[in-house]
Amino acid sequence: MPSLSVWCIRMALLYLGLGFTLGALMLSSPVLGFAPAVLKLRPLHAEILLVGWMAQLAFGVAYWILPRLPGNRPRGRERVAWLSLALLNAGVLAVGLGQILNAPTSVLVVGRVAEALAVFAFATHAWTRAQRSSAIR
């Protein structure tokens, strides 16, 4: 497994554990009596699990298993993939934390733009690898 995939998937696993922990706190909050404070975590819970866990896991696994290209760059433009990893995580933190800390709207916009750019960068990288089998090895 390439190191970028290791980073992506391990980050995704950390987000999974954190997201499940927040979810457990929220689910048990009606009984434990801290509902108002804990329910504010819902946007962070959703952001962490949908983007930090699922999307990032998909990035990591796709980078690992998509067909490799002929030549000296079998996984295509590696820098673009690393850029997408950095942008995705910056976006998750900006949007997730920004929502629960009542950050200015500009922080949320920057976070969403970072996530969109991450997806675009990853798609750009993966596009060349998603080809018919005659072009790959």
The least distance separating another protein from the CB of residue 29, rounded to whole angstroms, comes to 9
Told to check if 35 binds another protein by CB under 8 A, we report no
Q: What is the SS3 assignment for the chain?
A: CCHHHHHHHHHHHHHHHHHHHHHHHHHHHHHHCCHHHHHCCHHHHHHHHHHHHHHHHHHHHHHHHCCCCCCCCCCCCHHHHHHHHHHHHHHHHHHHHHHHCCCCHHHHHHHHHHHHHHHHHHHHHHHHHCCCHHHCC
Interface stretch with another protein, choices 21-29, 91-99, 102-110, 120-128 (CB under 8 A): 21-29
Told to check if 41 binds another protein by CB under 8 A, we report no
Told to check if 116 binds another protein by CB under 8 A, we report no
Told to check if 62 binds another protein by CB under 8 A, we report no
Told to check if 6 binds another protein by CB under 8 A, we report yes
Residue numbers at the binding site for another protein (CB under 8 A): 1-3, 5-6, 9-10, 13-14, 16-17, 19-21, 23-25, 27-28, 30-32, 49-50, 54, 57
